């Protein structure tokens, strides 16, 4: 079953990660969508693209209100297609929420055990990875394009959680909307490091050859395979079926829109229990 369910929240299109929100009612988790009839930045949530930061802040504010969270809880990394992971402590709450200058520098993965702290990361085709460790009560998010994927930001986050005491058998992972193999052809510059990351040739399901030097790559399944290799049980790995490039009524796509496009936001956090 599709783990993400489309909803209109107070006029705002949004995919809730209902598979987790139902199981863990104190979690807030999901992925924003766009309104196709409007321009390519109307539903933009990232400050590093477009020319209208006020619109971005307005979008963030309205989505926060609709989710019953505050914009001051949004906490963001700079995102540089790297593999650095940082822990957001209470004093980090709000980093990057209104300006990119105070976001966690050089950071593509964030984790926290704090309540009322919403981890936010931005995407247009790259893979949003969501994590929840129920025993530690830690949530996490990572930004995995092909570089983050072959750099193993997913497995690295698992090891961060395990190092903090998480039971590997209980860690839950969700792989969100991103470009599908239907729309993503790559060459050996991507496949060679992927082969290294997997320590084997990728299966045809992950990377299907189209000729001698090109492959159709499924980044979602590449990340799933990396989680399997990190010994996350299959029952704890959810994968969306949405392709950001195909589903143009829902998503921006960097590749489809030739770079001239907004960003969706992946959010995960815990509500105050009190
Ligand atoms: Zn597609």
- 49: domain CATH number is 3.60.140.10
Tell me the per-residue pLDDT of 246-272, one tens digit each, with 9 for 90 and over: 999 999 999 999 999 999 999 999 998
Is 113 domain-assigned? yes
- Residue 64 forms part of a structural domain: yes
* Neighbouring residues of 160: CB distance < 8 A, sequence distance ≥ 6: 85, 109, 111, 140
Q: Residue 157: exposed, middle, or buried by beta-carbon count in 10 A (0-12, 13-18, 19+)?
A: buried
**Has residue 201 been placed in a domain?**
no
Domain that holds residue 23: 5-178+240-270
> Residues 227-236: pLDDT tens digits?
999 999 999 9
Cα of 180 vs centre of ligand 1, distance in Å, is 5
Q: Tell me, yes or no, whether 158 lies in a domain.
A: yes
* Ligand 1 geometric centre to CA of 23 (Å): 30
Q: Is the pLDDT of residue 218 over 80?
A: yes
Strands 172-175 and 185-186: unpaired
Cα(182) to centroid(ligand 1), Å:
4
Measured in Å, residue 125 CA sits from the centre of ligand 1 at: 10
Distance 248 CA to ligand 1 centre (A): 9
Q: Is 197 a member of any domain?
A: no
Q: Note whether residue 220 is domain-resident.
A: no
208 domain residue, yes or no:
no
Per-residue pLDDT tens over the stretch 5-64: 999 999 999 999 999 999 999 999 999 999 877 788 999 999 999 989 999 999 999 999
Classify residue 147: in a domain, yes or no.
Answer: yes
Q: How many angstroms separate the alpha carbon of residue 243 from the centre of ligand 1?
A: 5
Neighbours of ion ligand 1 (CB under 5 A): 180, 182-183, 243, 245-246
Averaged pLDDT for residues 202-226: 97
Looking at residue 35, its pLDDT comes to 84
Neighbours of 201 (CB within 10 A): 11
How many structural domains is the chain composed of?
1
- Express each pLDDT in 77-120 by its tens digit: 999 999 999 999 999 999 999 999 999 999 999 999 999 999 99
Model pLDDT, residue 274: 64
């Amino acid at each position: 079953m599709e783990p993400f369910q489309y909803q209109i929240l107070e006029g705002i299109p949004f995919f809730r990660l209902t598979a987790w929100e139902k199981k863990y009612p104190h979690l807030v988790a999901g992925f924003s969508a766009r309104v196709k009839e409007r321009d390519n930045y109307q539903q933009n949530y990232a400050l590093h693209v477009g020319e209208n930061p006020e619109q971005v802040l307005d979008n963030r504010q309205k989505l926060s209100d609709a989710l019953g969270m505050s914009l001051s809880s949004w906490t963001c990394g700079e995102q540089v297609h790297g593999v650095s992971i940082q822990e957001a402590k209470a004093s980090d709450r709000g980093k990057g929420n209104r300006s990119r200058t105070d976001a966690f520098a050089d950071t593509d993965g964030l984790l926290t055990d704090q309540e009322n702290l919403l981890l936010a990361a931005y995407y247009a085709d790259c893979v949003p990875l969501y994590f929840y460790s129920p025993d530690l009560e830690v949530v996490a998010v990572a930004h995995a394009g092909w570089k983050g994927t072959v750099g193993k930001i997913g497995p690295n986050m698992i090891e961060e959680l395990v190092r903090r005491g998480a039971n590997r058998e209980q860690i839950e992972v969700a792989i969100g909307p991103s470009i599908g193999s239907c729309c993503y052809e790559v060459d050996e510059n991507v496949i060679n490091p992927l082969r290294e990351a997997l320590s084997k040739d990728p299966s045809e399901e992950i990377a299907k050859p189209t000729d001698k030097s090109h492959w159709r790559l499924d980044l979602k399944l590449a990340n799933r395979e990396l989680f399997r290799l990190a010994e996350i049980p299959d029952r704890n790995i959810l994968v969306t079926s949405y392709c950001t490039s195909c589903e143009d009524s829902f998503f921006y796509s960097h590749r489809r829109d030739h770079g001239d496009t907004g960003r969706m936001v992946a959010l995960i956090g815990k509500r105050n229990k009190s």
